[in-house]
Amino acid sequence: MRTQVGIIGAGPAGLMLSHLLHQRGIESVVIDLRSREDIEETIKAGVLEQGTVDLMTQTGVGDRLHRDGFVHHGFNIAFSGEQHRINLYDLTGGRTVTVYAQHEVLKDLIAKRLADGGDVRFGVTDTSVEGLETEHPTVRFAHDGEQHTLDCDFVAGCDGSRTFTRFLIPEGEIRTDFFRQYPFAWFGILAEAAPSSDELIYAHSERGFALISTRSPSVQRLYFQCDPDTDPDDWSESRIWEEIEARVAGAGATIKTGSIFKKDILQFRSFVCEPMQYGRLYLAGDAAHTVPPTGAKGLNLAVADVHALDRALGAYFEAKDDGLLESYTRTVLKRVWRAQHFSWWMTSMLHRFSDATDFDVRRQIAELEMVTGSPSAAKTIADNYVGLPLT
């Protein structure tokens, strides 16, 4: 088999890259270890930046998003018994976010790739990559009981935080020590219930952080800060609802409870590798960087990476210009580090650290008063939340 770009991983980065390349006439093959059902059903975050929405709309994968997604013009921060609204729309000159689950984005991209005749293979095994230092790297894999060798011009490593492609870069050629582990996690639930709020609520409380999000008029997504070792089975429905209620109590929000049909624990890490490329290999998305979930930047960063990679590959195939490929890492890391700072900032401002002193808590409150009370500070949070334009 022969293709121009071998893409390893059918998550947001890999599928969007394949879709964007197809739009400019560049061929790719996408492979993934997971089944299509697994990819289409795994619950992840659900907030799309304005730039992600615009890109999906412009490239013909925005129909369902516009029909079923919810445009949010603002979000709320609750602390010290009050809610404060960040008016995203006004503060950013008309930009918004859209609540639309990541696995729905993946369903849309998979459907479009297949409708456009794209080659996407699920459930592959025994993947290996060779020749990254040459002009024709190869990807070997097994699929449906057959061995395949894919000759490519480039390989894109889009295989998420459990990446193997990052480990193809020789030690000494890559730094992997930009890492921070946080001493807490999020307990996430999906519940059959009516929305508790028209807009998201990020709540700071003595019992720890809580986030009221949504998915649809009848399904809600909520999270609360927990110990990383928490076993979801130790938490009954009533205990979960009581805990969330206690955390938002006094901030003017009434939680509408309902039957909980999914519970998960999200780990908190910040990670970046540098560079994000080696020979003919380019990494994108979680294979190269991870953010803690606060602010929902993960999928949006993956989309921004492949937006840049698509343009770089386009310049190479269309004009034999490898300037954008050479500067790929430098280009995307600017945004990656901006998002790293924002996710860390939101996390550290809103969560209860186990070793926090009264001084630390008062300092957090002062910071929350600043971001909700000062128009320039509120604009900083709003600009970052809706996301920088894709340039």
Residues 215-274 that bind ligand DHB (CB under 6 A): 221
Asked if 136 and 28 touch (Cβ cutoff 8 Å), the reply is: no
Neighbours of 158 (CB within 10 A): 32
Asked if 284 and 303 touch (Cβ cutoff 8 Å), the reply is: no
Q: Does 213 bind ligand DHB (CB under 6 A)?
A: yes
Q: Of the two residues 192 and 326, which places its CB atom closer to ligand DHB in the complex?
A: 192
Shortest distance (Å) from residue 221 CB to ligand DHB: 4
Asked if 140 and 148 touch (Cβ cutoff 8 Å), the reply is: yes
Q: Does 45 bind ligand DHB (CB under 6 A)?
A: yes
Reported as type and span, the H/E element at residue 226 is: strand 219-226
Shortest distance (Å) from residue 69 CB to ligand DHB: 12
Q: Of the two residues 8 and 346, which places its CB atom closer to ligand DHB in the complex?
A: 346
From 11-19, 81-89, 117-125, 290-298, span contacting ligand DHB (CB under 6 A): 290-298
Taking CB under 6 A as the criterion, the residue among 21, 26, 296, 301 binding ligand DHB is 296
Report the SS3 class of residue 178.
Answer: strand
Residues 49-88 that bind ligand DHB (CB under 6 A): none
Shortest distance (Å) from residue 266 CB to ligand DHB: 8
Taking CB under 6 A as the criterion, the residue among 98, 220, 294, 329 binding ligand DHB is 294
Shortest distance (Å) from residue 71 CB to ligand DHB: 14
Q: Of the two residues 130 and 367, which places its CB atom closer to ligand DHB in the complex?
A: 367
From 154-162, 176-184, 289-297, 312-320, span contacting ligand DHB (CB under 6 A): 289-297
Asked if 298 and 45 touch (Cβ cutoff 8 Å), the reply is: yes
Phi/psi of residue 321, nearest 5 degrees: -105, 115
Q: Does 350 bind ligand DHB (CB under 6 A)?
A: no
Q: Helix-strand-coil percent breakdown of the chain, rounded to 5?
A: 40, 25, 35
What residues are paired with 179 via a beta bridge? 271
Report the SS3 class of residue 8.
Answer: strand
Shortest distance (Å) from residue 79 CB to ligand DHB: 16
Q: In whole angstroms, what is the distance from residue 201 CA to residue 221 CA?
A: 11
In angstroms, what CA-CA distances link 383 with 24, 89, 145, 268?
Answer: 30, 10, 49, 23
Name the residue number minimizing CB distance to ligand DHB. Answer: 213
**Strands of 277-278's sheet in order across:** 119-121, 28-31, 5-8, 154-157, 281-283, 277-278
Taking CB under 6 A as the criterion, the residue among 295, 303, 306, 314 binding ligand DHB is 295
Taking CB under 6 A as the criterion, the residue among 30, 47, 61, 260 binding ligand DHB is 47
Instruction: Please identify every residue annotated as catalytic.
Output: 72, 202, 293, 297, 385
Taking CB under 6 A as the criterion, the residue among 293, 299, 310, 364 binding ligand DHB is 293
Q: Does 303 bind ligand DHB (CB under 6 A)?
A: no
Q: In whole angstroms, what is the distance from residue 75 CA to residue 85 CA?
A: 6
Shortest distance (Å) from residue 222 CB to ligand DHB: 9
Taking CB under 6 A as the criterion, the residue among 11, 14, 46, 137 binding ligand DHB is 46
DSSP secondary structure string, 130-172?
Answer: E-TTSSS-EEEEEETTEEEEEE-SEEEE---TT-SGGGGSPTT
> Residues interacting with ligand DHB, by CB under 6 A?
45-47, 200, 211, 213, 221, 293-296
